[in-house]
Amino acid sequence: MREYFKFVLYAVVASHLSLAIAGAYEDFFRAVGSDDERSVHTLLKRGFDPNSLDEKGQTALILAIRGGSFRVARELVAHPAQKVDTPNHAGETALMIAALRGERDWVDQLLARGAQVDRPGWSPLHYAATGPQTQLVELMLARGAPIEARSPNGTTPLMMAARYGAEGSALLLLARGADPRARNDQGLDAAAFARLGGREALASRLEAAAR
């Protein structure tokens, strides 16, 4: 009988603990979305893992930077247990998202925390080249990002800049030695990417550089 009561007690405790963890999980990501740094601070102080993924496979830090919850982002970056390179379900890091959005301040903060600019597959330089800020492309290169980084389908940062990013980013990459003759797995070079983006003048410059 005593063993039975022990079993029941353990089951009740485990049930309450499970509910508490689930509640903390929901509270945490709700607080991230509403930029409620006080609640995030409290939950982190109680031991909640800042590197947890939400139900869609996103990290809190990525959600905060992407969603403009910058007070929460500061809380997360400052936390000693925060792993700034924890990827989301798509393999993206907080540095990649900050670079894509042109958030120079957050790029600087993440680099100061040790965020890596050299990653296999899609890299921070790809994302910076896709974004609006040429200065972030220059910063990634200065930090040692490989200029010919290849995505899983062979796309280079120059190709991404040619179609999606600032034209200055494409020209900067070209000036720094990016190969305009490189082709991805679909056989497309940077000039072809530029034409897909309706950038005929840039496409012509890239074709001329490839001769």
What residue segments make up the domains of the chain, in order of their start? 1-115, 117-211
Overall CATH class of domain 1-115:
mainly alpha
pLDDT-based confidence at residue 61 (cuts at 50, 70, 90)? very high
Q: Please say if the pLDDT value at position 87 is more than 50.
A: yes
Q: What is the rounded CA–CA span in Å between residue 139 and residue 184?
A: 25
Q: What percent of the chain has pLDDT over 70?
A: 90
Q: Whole-prediction pTM value?
A: 0.88
Alpha carbons within 13 angstroms on the beta-carbon side of residue 46 total 14
pLDDT-based confidence at residue 23 (cuts at 50, 70, 90)? confident
Shortest CA distance to 126 belongs to which of 84, 170, 82, 186? 170
161 and 153 Cβ atoms separated by less than 8 Å: no
Query: What pLDDT score does 22 carry?
Result: 57
190 and 159 Cβ atoms separated by less than 8 Å: yes
pLDDT-based confidence at residue 46 (cuts at 50, 70, 90)? very high
Any idea which fold 117-211 has?
1.25.40
Domains 1-115 and 117-211 share a fold: yes
Q: What is the rounded CA–CA span in Å between residue 51 and residue 47?
A: 11
Query: What pLDDT score does 146 carry?
Result: 98
Query: What pLDDT score does 142 carry?
Result: 98
Q: Please say if the pLDDT value at position 75 is more than 70.
A: yes
